[in-house]
Amino acid sequence: GEEVAQTPKHLVRGEGQKAKLYCAPIKGHSYVFWYQQVLKNEFKFLISFQNENVFDETGMPKERFSAKCLPNSPCSLEIQATKLEDSAVYFCASSQAEWTEAFFGQGTRLTVV
Amino acid sequence: KNEVEQSPQNLTAQEGEFITINCSYSVGISALHWLQQHPGGGIVSLFMLSSGKKKHGRLIATINIQEKHSSLHITASHPRDSAVYICAVGRGSQGNLIFGKGTKLSVKP
């Protein structure tokens, strides 16, 4: 597609439940990035992929967060046993190659209650 | 002290004014990004630069690597420029960014 598509737009989970977020990068883009925006302006890098390979996962809280980008499937970010502090907007972005412009999806707002 | 500092935090301008938003950082970087987040939440990448100056329509971004400082300028501002402008620096791999807290710009007609 011509835009980064994130689903769902909104997700509500009870504390302790699992949350799974999806991101379809722009067709032909090799790099995918996940970010977490807590409150209004606190962005944090989580993980990046080059095709289906993890490129940089230094921002991932490993205990409960995992992510995949499998061929011919949307990328996914999964949070096991969600906590209240996981409430945030999760943005996905993609770029065609390294050090080229990144395009952002509209985000998934996760609310943990 | 945050590794990426933006100023001002909030900025109100009249339509047509020249706008400057500043970003200072304290770490070595591979590239600096300026992002725009619309009131609805959508994010647009405006610039990625590692030296000098880039221009896109009414937007100009400059970076001084020695002084660890970047500026985003908007000429002839318009109410549709109202958004949060975010500076982010890349430290290693592309996409691994440290973000500033953003500058909320409001342009009044």
pLDDT at A98: 80
Contacts of B57 (CB under 8 A, 6+ apart): none
pLDDT at B17: 97
A96 touches chain B (CB under 8 A): no
Does position A40 have pLDDT exceeding 80, yes or no?
no
Q: What is the 3-state secondary structure (H, E, C) of chain A?
A: CCCCEEECCEEEECCCCCEEEEEECCCCCCEEEEEEEECCCEEEEEEEEECCEEEECCCCCCCCEEEECCCCCCEEEEECCCCHHHCEEEEEEEECCCCCCEEECCCEEEEEC
pLDDT at A79: 97
Take residue A49 and report the two structure tokens written for it.
């992929």
Provide φ and ψ at B79, rounded to 5°: -50, -30
pLDDT at A110: 97
What digits encode the pLDDT tens for the residues B10-34?
A: 999 999 999 999 999 998 888 999 9
pLDDT at B78: 97
pLDDT at B105: 98
Of B92 and A72, the one with more pLDDT = A72
B89 touches chain A (CB under 8 A): no
Hey, what amino acid is at B97? Answer: L
Q: Across-strand partners of B90?
A: B31, B97
B66 touches chain A (CB under 8 A): no
* Closest Cβ opposite residue B97 in set A40, A45, A107: A45
Does position A12 have pLDDT exceeding 70, yes or no?
yes
pLDDT at A1: 61
What's the gap between Cα A68 and its chain centre?
10
- How many Cα atoms are found within 13 Å in the side-chain-facing hemisphere of B55? 3
Closest CA to A78 of A88, A67, A69, A87: A67
Tens of pLDDT, residue by residue, chain B (109 residues): 689 999 999 999 999 999 999 999 998 888 999 999 998 889 999 999 999 999 999 999 999 999 999 999 999 999 999 999 999 998 878 888 999 999 999 999 9
CB contact under 8 A, B45 and A59: no
pLDDT at B1: 66
Does position A41 have pLDDT exceeding 80, yes or no?
no
